[in-house]
Amino acid sequence: MKIGIIGAGAFGSALAITLAKGGRSVVLWGREVSEMTQTRQVPRLPGIQLPEKVEVTSDLTHLSGLPILLSVPTQSLSSLLDREDFPDTDHLIACCKGIDLVTGRGPSQMIADSHSGTASVLTGPSFATDIAKGLPTALTLASADPTALTLLQPLLSTDTLRIYTSDDPKGAEMGGALKNVIAIGCGLVMGAGLGDSARAALMTRGLVEMRRFAESQGARPDTLMGLSGFGDLVLTCSSPLSRNFSHGFALGQGQAPDTSKTVEGVATALAALEVARRHDIDMPITSMVSQIIAGKTSLAHAITTLLSRDLTKE
């Protein structure tokens, strides 16, 4: 079976490469792919060649009837799904991690609101370069439809990409979204020189915050203890390859972050905090990150505020 992938950036291209090497035929869509078509090179993945089994196209109709992986920024997903030329398909799988800033919806809800096909989520601890190089990676495939999981799990699994399934797409996508916010916080901490102990504390309390938020949105909190939550949190909060961590690190050092790269945690922090306010959810770390991003407070003041909160049990 062929697989369609919308989004020819680093992650979408990495998935195309590993799936093609695993024997699948892949149709990879991007807006400006003429150079990729000619050179078979991925600008975001230097030195890595696209396999022959990857067809590169800028025509969405080439993906009609295929299971489609959506590897686009969360804030662009809604407009993509509303395109008149969006292909018909029975299976849409969101690979983006975030919460829509305008509506507060996650990717699976945006898919369900726009299309009749099944909505799934593919998420977990993964860097595009690792996947493209064929380094061992494990991800979570989450869907409320057991038939979709039965079909898609073997389709997306390869010798180096191991797919686990979950029937809690809300929990899976909440983990993938909220860990980006905590990663920005950890970057702030490390950039400011506050040390590994502070980062460990922020990660741990951040996981509590993630579970609390996810449960309030109808997810199972234990889902966030798996690859899509805890696993992704560990990776994103501990590596300079993480865009969210790097964004926070630059802010922590008093520098201007690189705005040329998509940093999902920025919009997600603001969106999650708005949802938390409406539902009266205690989100102190998300609040701190949001205020710093918005320029409403300094890191020093935010840290002081966190440390002066009432003492409580764990």
Which CATH number goes with the domain that contains 299?
Answer: 1.10.1040.10
Both tokens assigned to 219: 């997810």
Tokens of 184: 């920005």
Confidence band for 19, pLDDT divided at 50, 70 and 90: very high
Name the domain boundary from 144, 169, 194: 169
Token code pair at residue 232: 């992704």
Q: Are residues 182 and 159 in the same domain?
A: no
Write down the pLDDT at residue 18: 98
Query: How many Å apart are CA 271 and CA 280, to the nearest integer?
Result: 14
> Quick check: 289 and 266 in contact, CB under 8 A?
no
Active-site option among 21, 179, 261, 313: 179
Give CA separation, 136 vs 19, 139, 297, in Å. Answer: 13, 10, 41
The per-residue pLDDT for range 65-111, each reduced to its tens digit, is 999 999 999 999 999 999 999 999 999 999 999 999 999 999 999 99
97 included as an active-site residue:
no
Same domain for 141 and 190?
A: no
* Domain around 291: 177-307
Measured in degrees and rounded to the nearest 5, phi and psi for residue 138 equal -120, 135
Region of 101 on the Ramachandran plot (φ > 0 left; ψ -120 to 50 alpha; else beta): alpha
Query: 40 and 188 share a domain?
Result: no
**Closest-CA residue to 289 (of 183, 203, 215):** 183
* Within-domain flag for 312: no
pLDDT for res 200 = 97
Q: Are 228 and 163 in contact (CB under 8 A)?
A: no
Domain boundary among 169, 192, 216: 169
Residue 78 placed within a domain: yes
Output the pLDDT for position 172.
98
**Integer Cα distance of 31 and 132 in angstroms:** 21
Mean pLDDT of the chain: 95
pLDDT, one tens digit per residue, over 33-69 is 999 999 999 989 999 999 999 999 999 999 999 999 9
225, part of any domain: yes
Tell me the HSE value of 60 on the side-chain side, using a 13 A CA sphere. Answer: 16
Identify the domain boundary among 145, 169, 193: 169
Q: How many residues does the chain have?
A: 314
Structure confidence by residue, pLDDT tens digits, 193-240: 999 999 999 999 999 999 999 999 999 999 999 999 999 999 999 999
Residue % of the chain over a pLDDT of 90: 91
Angle between helices 284-293 and 169-191 (to 10 degrees): 60
Mean pLDDT over 156-168 rounds to 98
CA 72 to CA 107: how far, in whole Å?
Answer: 10
**Position 292 confidence tier, pLDDT thresholds 50, 70, 90:** very high
Rounded CA separation 301/288 (Å): 9
